[in-house]
Amino acid sequence: MKLIRLALPVYVELLTSVVAVSLIDLFWVSGLGGQAVAAVTIATTTEYLALGVVLAVGTGTTVLVGRRDGQEPITPVIRTAWLLWAAVSLAVAIPGVLLREPLAHLFTGDAVTASLTADFYLVSLAGIPVFYAQTLADGIFKGRGDTRTPMRAALLCNALVAALDPLFIYGLDFGIQGAAWATVAARVAALAVSLTLLVRRVPRDSRAGASRADALEIVRIGLPMSGDFLARALVGMLTVEVVGGFGVASLAGYGIGMKIMLAGVMAFYALRQATMIQTARSGDAGPALGYGLLAGLAVAAVLALTAPVVTGLFTQDPSVAATATDFLRWMPLYLVPFGGLIAVGGVLQASGRGGRLLVATLAGFALQLPAAYALGSLVGVTGVWLAMAAGAVLALLTATPSARPNRSRPGSGSGVLEPGERGADPVD
């Protein structure tokens, strides 16, 4: 049950921070026309990809703080992590702002859409350090076993975006840039709350400084997670290209199906973070694989049963709805092994074997992509769904032999300590 208590707030956080902000922006800019909607879609997708860069710092910090909390000082880890945050933020924000126009043209050939995208980038990429800072602050909280505070910060940010979007876009007549300003302002407010809580809750040692060894350890632990994230993003784009070869209806149906499935898949990533936190803090995440497989089965069953109704909310085109429904009904073959893989990934990441997860992910993709082309030519777009399932199964088989967690760590007790123990302030 500890694993579930850790995972549920993370699930809410992921839904709100990963999905909701972009949907809120899209809703409010829709009144500006289709080109504005396209521009925000491009810009928020780019930001999502940029998240993969800072995951190395955030994930590595979560694991290292979890291992040391209550055993040795965590101040050096935290100070080192903030230095890494500064370096990564500048490395992404400065080139992003300076190269915003050519970057926009990479994603669209329409001059107006590219111009609007560049306008959005000017604000959103300049504000990327705030986005990265919140990611790191959340990682520190999670390392101490607190997943509720990041959830509350995400909910606060979303509420502020929903309130500020109409004010900035229409009230102040900032247009599409208003959506970017509203998002950055909301993130600044949420970050201010998070940093205040960090200062209050995290014990400090004024004598402890940043450590080069800690920096290397954070990066070593976190890089496989970034690699896994970016590999999935790349393969996702390649899959869009494959599905696009079957026509507009297939591509639209796939897009709708993926958006619907994303809400369920976030449960797997919440479980991964929970297993990572619990493994880092206690050395044992319990039956992570079993939880992952059960989560995959549950999500798959819900999506398969509700597919016709849910897809109808997104389209009135029968051919598009048929493709989306077919996609969701084939997904149990993919979601069950994928849920197991993602849950096991948290154990591997926290126990210093994240490279194994990346190898498993790449092995799955090495099968999935060729199979998508081969099976697609034989049985149509359904072959792409079968290829996804085959890749997930291979990845899971590759990852699970080395996913057994270490049962203990030096000086650790048994079980995950709840927030409020080891000197931490209570979450509630």
Q: Which of 232-236, 385-389, 400-404 shows the lowest per-residue confidence on average (mean pLDDT)?
A: 400-404
Of 231, 116, 232, 135, the C-alpha closest to 174 is: 116
Taking the C-alpha atoms of residue 120 and residue 134, their distance in angstroms, rounded to an integer, is 20
What is the model's pTM?
0.81
For the stretch 325-375, pLDDT in tens is 999 999 999 999 999 999 999 888 888 888 888 999 999 999 999 999 999
| Residue 414 pLDDT class (50, 70, 90 cuts) | very low
Q: Angle CA(352)–CA(354)–CA(360) in degrees, nearest 5?
A: 145
Percent of the chain beyond pLDDT 90? 42
For the stretch 200-247, pLDDT in tens is 988 776 666 667 888 998 999 888 888 888 888 888 878 877 888 888
| Residue 416 pLDDT class (50, 70, 90 cuts) | very low
Where are the domains positioned within the chain? Answer: 1-210, 225-428
37 in Cβ contact with 179 (< 8 Å): no
Taking the C-alpha atoms of residue 340 and residue 272, their distance in angstroms, rounded to an integer, is 9
Q: Which of 84-93, 108-117, 171-180 shows the lowest per-residue confidence on average (mean pLDDT)?
A: 108-117
Residue 275: count other Cβ atoms within 10 Å of its Cβ. 32
149 pLDDT higher than 90: yes
Average pLDDT over residues 130-147: 93
Q: For CA atoms 159, 143, 64, 420, give the dihedral sign.
A: positive
Average pLDDT over residues 381-405: 86
| Residue 319 pLDDT class (50, 70, 90 cuts) | confident
- Report in angstroms the alpha-carbon separations of 49 from 179, 207, 221, 331: 19, 37, 20, 24
Q: What is the structure's pLDDT at 403?
A: 54
131 in Cβ contact with 412 (< 8 Å): no
Taking the C-alpha atoms of residue 305 and residue 302, their distance in angstroms, rounded to an integer, is 5
Q: What is the structure's pLDDT at 338?
A: 95
Q: Dmax of the chain from CA atoms?
A: 66
Alpha helices by DSSP H, listed for 202-331, are: 212-244, 248-282, 288-312, 318-330
50 pLDDT higher than 60: yes
Taking the C-alpha atoms of residue 64 and residue 333, their distance in angstroms, rounded to an integer, is 35
294 pLDDT higher than 70: yes
Q: What is the structure's pLDDT at 111?
A: 86
Considering only residues 426 and 401, tell me which one the structure prediction assigns the higher pLDDT.
401
Kindly state the DSSP code that residue 402 receives in the 8-state scheme.
G
| Residue 119 pLDDT class (50, 70, 90 cuts) | very high
